[in-house]
Amino acid sequence: MTDPIATTVLKATGLHRTYRLGRVEVPVLRGVDLEVKEGEWLCVLGASGSGKSTLLHQLGDLDRPDRGAIAWRGRDLSDMRRRERETYRNRAVGFVFQSYHLMPELNVLENVMVASMVGHDPFAWRSMRSEAAHRAEELLDAFGLGHRFSHRPAELSGGERQRVAIARALVNGPDVVLADEPTGNLDVKTGEGILEVLTERHRLGLSIVMVTHDANIAARADRVVKMVDGAVVEDAQVAPEATH
């Protein structure tokens, strides 16, 4: 369970987001407030269309709100310059998507290392490459993929691909991992393995924000936020006996 006085890593205040489909405006977020504490596992639970994935994209600066603010360690993202926001997306947060988003032309090790490469010129990367490879290898070994370094994504199972995606999300040592239905494309047994990987990292102090529609997955978290029609309708701590 997270310390209630722990540092706030991410804070969203009054987020609104509306998309236009042809002539129709579709409100997706309607004044969402949210805080993520250091070392907390927060699940955002809701049905399809409730706005939970849009909220995750806002927190990760993949999309921007029409109104409202997002602060990282007390600093509003809107006050940052372009390069600082790029650094935020690459270093402060790590993304895990339902569909993996691995690069098919790269092998497993390269897919993890590519996150370390972003934002560096070729000369700087040359001096950093060995250290980045070492970090990537350590993560892949920890996830049981030490024998897969040279394999391409097409040669991996779904569970293996998602473990590679998690390693990529962690390789830069982010403050928070943002996970969008990370078991959604996996069978129950394989999905359980992915949740165990994330649970172990959480025990080591990783902050996680995960969106899901599955209440059983949400029960693993420290706190659950429920969304309906773009608004938070419940925010509650998970009872210790409910967690694994």
The pLDDT tens digits of the residues spanning 162-175 come to 999 999 999 999 99
Mean pLDDT of the 107-136 span:
82
For residue 242, pLDDT over 70 is answered with: no
pLDDT, position 239: 73
The burial class, CB within 10 Å (0-12 / 13-18 / 19+), for 45 is buried
Q: Which of 7-11, 16-20, 175-179, 240-244 has the lowest mean pLDDT?
A: 240-244
Q: Are strands 24-37 and 207-212 parallel, antiparallel or unpaired?
A: unpaired
**Angstrom distance (rounded) from CA 206 to CA 188:** 24
Tokens representing 129?
Answer: 């490459």
Residue holding tokens 């902050």? 207
**Angstrom distance (rounded) from CA 29 to CA 14:** 9
For residue 153, pLDDT over 90 is answered with: yes
pLDDT, position 111: 95
Local confidence band at 5 (pLDDT 50, 70, 90 cut-offs): low
Q: Which domains does the chain have, with CATH numbers?
A: 39-63+89-242 (3.40.50.300)
Local confidence band at 199 (pLDDT 50, 70, 90 cut-offs): very high
pLDDT, position 130: 83
Mean pLDDT of the 224-232 span:
96
> Smallest Cα–Cα separation from 8: which of 87, 72, 77, 70?
72
**Angstrom distance (rounded) from CA 78 to CA 71:** 8
pLDDT, position 67: 96
The pLDDT tens digits of the residues spanning 77-118 come to 999 999 999 999 999 999 999 889 999 999 999 999 988 887
* Residues 152-156: contacts with CB under 8 Å, at least 24 apart: 152/104, 152/105, 152/106, 152/107, 152/108, 153/100, 153/102, 153/103, 153/104, 153/106, 153/108, 153/111, 154/104, 156/108
Mean model confidence pLDDT for the chain: 91
Higher confidence at residue 206 or residue 240?
206
Residue holding tokens 């994209």? 57
The pLDDT tens digits of the residues spanning 77-87 come to 999 999 999 99
Phi/psi class of residue 22: alpha, beta or left (left: φ > 0; alpha: ψ in -120 to 50)?
left
Cβ 240 vs Cβ 61: under 8 Å: no
Question: Does this model's pTM top 0.85?
Answer: yes
Mean pLDDT of the 111-129 span:
76
For residue 42, pLDDT over 90 is answered with: yes
**Angstrom distance (rounded) from CA 111 to CA 152:** 9
> Smallest Cα–Cα separation from 139: which of 214, 209, 81, 204?
204
Mean pLDDT of the 30-34 span:
97
pLDDT, position 2: 58
Neighbours of 209 (CB within 10 A): 26
pLDDT, position 129: 80
pLDDT, position 121: 63
Local confidence band at 6 (pLDDT 50, 70, 90 cut-offs): confident
